């Protein structure tokens, strides 16, 4: 089948629209199972044609597909920063298009089957890269696409989201090859065979998931929790209030739900937004206010986000993310987006956010980019300093020593293997504290909540989610939201969760599908690019 240039463009457009319409929290993920097929057909037609500059045309068509997908699904970023949103959309689309271009170069030298295998492992390896490098942006990793259909993917406790990515690509490859076979002989038998295989590959994993879903039970300690949702405008109100004001708001919201049985009260990311010197916190009026509240409720554990800084003149303390203090010579400071746990014990437990938002909390590849861009971090509500991280996934222990909570801060909740690190460090439930008000009433905060459900299934841990403005919620280990507060609503949500001390296969093995894919990619890539294709008669 031959396509005109116009039809090639239509195929690229179709892939972009199908990917977008298959995405949460508004789409239907069944579309993802064939969304790449039109683009693969366009690439094959160009590859087998006599057209000039094929590589450039393939890149252009692919770029069109992925700009559409990125723009429709993540254009909400513009509410935080137009430049940052544009960078995320156009650069991420370019990286995705580069994958198709590399596949195109490989497919010219190798058989269809080997080339498609190369494409699948290349894409999975790209998603793994997006989880780890300094320009990390895994929002559109394909396995996230099922986050509104948790009953389909209960087997994520074994595979993580890379199982979903592999599932999507297997179906796309099968449908693509089926179309090629049908074009060759126009046989209804071939068409029927492909349809049956596709139906089986979709239905069987879903049936397995339903079986896991219906049989799963959780037996653990009951934890009574409260998640606060202060609903403070981060663009104006939030950074104009003192921490003492926020402390009073904390107590006001908590008092609306607290009982003698309450174990945890959880407040959102940077709830205490006024930057506080780390060395002075223990003896501060702010700390004494929280201590008095705990004394009045001796069984309660208070978990909250706070902004800390630590200023110093000792060069030996300088870390990769340390900032230079511009107003005093030979002075530096670490800026922390932190979580605190305060309870009846004497010590305050602290965790520092370690998966940072690119361009907002983290300046990627400073050695290369800083000479070009200067200190051009995106201004997001006054947050313009590099944040200092920690390597260890800190877990907070309650005053009764039975409850161990993972203090997951905002963007960290998008990273499956990262979150599993808390569970390996004995967290028996998860707390996500976040501030989703930057994106207004868009898909941004809805997708962020939806992705949290993936972490519940991967780790089989209940989740308490406290959002400044967004959706505060309680999520069970099946990924079901059992209680929530609507966007823009001020208040608190309370409920019961259960602890869990079992370790899922995914928590033990991590992103093993991605690691296997990288190994296959290297092996198949070396064969494909450095071994000459055999001549055919």
pLDDT digits (tens, 9 = 90+) for 188-211: 888 899 999 999 999 999 999 999
More confident residue, 431 or 534: 431
**Which domains are delineated in the chain?**
5-216+511-530 (no CATH), 222-500 (3.60.110.10)
Give the per-residue pLDDT at 379: 39
Nearest CA to 443 out of 148, 160, 149 is that of: 148
Summarize pLDDT for 446-491 with one digit per residue, the tens: 999 999 999 999 999 999 999 998 799 999 999 999 999 999 899 9
**Structure tokens, 493:** 């949500």
- Give the whole-number percent of the chain exceeding pLDDT 90: 76
Please say if the pLDDT value at position 382 is more than 70. Answer: no
The residue to which tokens 């201590």 are assigned: 291
pLDDT band for position 384 (cuts 50, 70, 90): low
In this predicted model, what pLDDT tens digit does every residue of 36-61 receive, in sequence order? 999 999 999 999 988 889 999 999 99
Residue 325 has pLDDT above 60, yes or no: yes
CA distance 58 to 47: 9
pLDDT-wise least confident of 85-94, 259-268, 426-435: 85-94
How high is the pLDDT of residue 445?
Answer: 93
Check if the beta carbon of residue 111 is closer than 8 Å to that of residue 73: no
Helix (H, G, I), strand (E, B) or coil at 275: strand
d(CA 514, CA 308): 36
How far apart, in Å, are the Cα atoms of 284 and each of 149, 274, 350, 388, 433? Answer: 47, 13, 16, 23, 23
What is the rounded CA–CA span in Å between residue 352 and residue 221?
Answer: 27
What is the predicted pLDDT for the residue at 312? 93
Decide if pLDDT at 381 tops 50: no
Q: How confident is the model at residue 528 (pLDDT cuts 50, 70, 90)?
A: confident
Are the beta carbons of 65 and 19 closer than 8 angstroms? yes
Q: How many CB atoms lie within 10 A of CB 220?
A: 18
For 3, 120, 223, 340, 359, the CA distances from 337, given in Å and listed in that order, are: 53, 37, 26, 10, 15
Mean pLDDT of the chain: 91
């Amino acid at each position: 089948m031959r396509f005109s240039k116009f039809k090639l463009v239509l195929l690229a457009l179709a892939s972009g629209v199908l990917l977008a319409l298959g995405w949460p929290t508004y789409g239907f993920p069944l579309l993802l199972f064939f969304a790449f097929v039109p683009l693969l057909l366009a690439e094959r037609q160009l590859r087998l044609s006599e057209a000039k500059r094929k590589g450039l045309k393939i890149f252009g068509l692919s770029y069109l597909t992925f700009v559409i997908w990125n723009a429709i699904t993540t254009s909400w970023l513009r509410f935080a920063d137009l430049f940052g949103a544009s960078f995320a959309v156009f650069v991420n689309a370019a990286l995705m298009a580069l994958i198709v271009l590399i596949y195109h170069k490989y497919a010219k030298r190798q058989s269809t089957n080997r080339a498609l295998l190369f494409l699948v492992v290349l894409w999975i390896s790209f998603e793994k890269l997006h989880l780890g490098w300094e320009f990390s942006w895994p929002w559109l990793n394909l396995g996230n696409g099922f986050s509104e259909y948790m009953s389909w993917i209960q087997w994520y406790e074994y595979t993580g989201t890379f199982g979903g990515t592999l599932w999507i690509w297997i179906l796309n490859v099968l449908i693509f090859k089926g179309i090629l076979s049908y074009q060759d002989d126009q046989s209804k038998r071939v068409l029927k065979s492909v349809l049956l295989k596709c139906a089986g590959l979709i239905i069987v994993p879903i049936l397995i998931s339903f079986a896991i879903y219906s049989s799963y039970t959780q037996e653990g300690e009951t934890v009574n929790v409260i998640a606060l949702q202060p609903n403070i405008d981060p663009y104006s109100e939030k950074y104009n209030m003192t921490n003492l004001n926020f402390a009073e708001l904390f107590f006001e919201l908590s008092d609306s739900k607290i009982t003698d049985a309450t174990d945890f009260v959880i407040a959102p990311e940077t709830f205490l937004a006024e930057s506080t010197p780390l060395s002075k916190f223990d003896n501060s009026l702010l700390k004494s206010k929280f201590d008095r509240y705990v004394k009045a409720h001796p069984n309660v554990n208070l978990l909250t986000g706070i902004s800390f800084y630590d200023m110093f003149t000792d060069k030996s303390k300088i870390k990769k993310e340390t900032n230079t203090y511009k107003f005093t010579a030979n002075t530096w400071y670490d800026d922390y987006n932190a979580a605190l746990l305060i309870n009846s014990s004497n010590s305050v437990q602290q965790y520092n956010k370690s998966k940072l938002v690119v361009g907002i909390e983290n300046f990627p590849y400073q050695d290369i980019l800083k000479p070009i861009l200067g200190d051009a971090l995106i201004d997001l509500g006054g947050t313009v300093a590099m944040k200092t991280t920690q390597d260890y996934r800190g877990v907070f222990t309650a005053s009764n020593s039975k409850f161990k909570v993972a203090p997951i801060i905002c963007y960290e909740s998008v990273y499956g293997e990262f979150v599993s690190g808390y569970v390996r460090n004995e967290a028996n439930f998860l707390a996500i504290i976040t501030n989703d008000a930057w994106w207004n009433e868009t898909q941004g905060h809805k997708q962020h909540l939806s992705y949290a459900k993936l972490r519940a299934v991967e780790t089989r841990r209940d989740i308490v989610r406290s959002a400044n403005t967004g959706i505060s919620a309680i999520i069970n280990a099946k990924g079901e939201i059992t209680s929530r507060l609507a966007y823009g609503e001020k208040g608190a949500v309370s409920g019961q969760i259960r602890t869990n001390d079992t370790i899922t296969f995914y928590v033990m093995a991590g992103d093993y599908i991605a690691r296997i894919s990288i190994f296959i990619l290297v092996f198949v890539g070396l064969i494909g690019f450095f071994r000459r294709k055999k001549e055919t008669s």
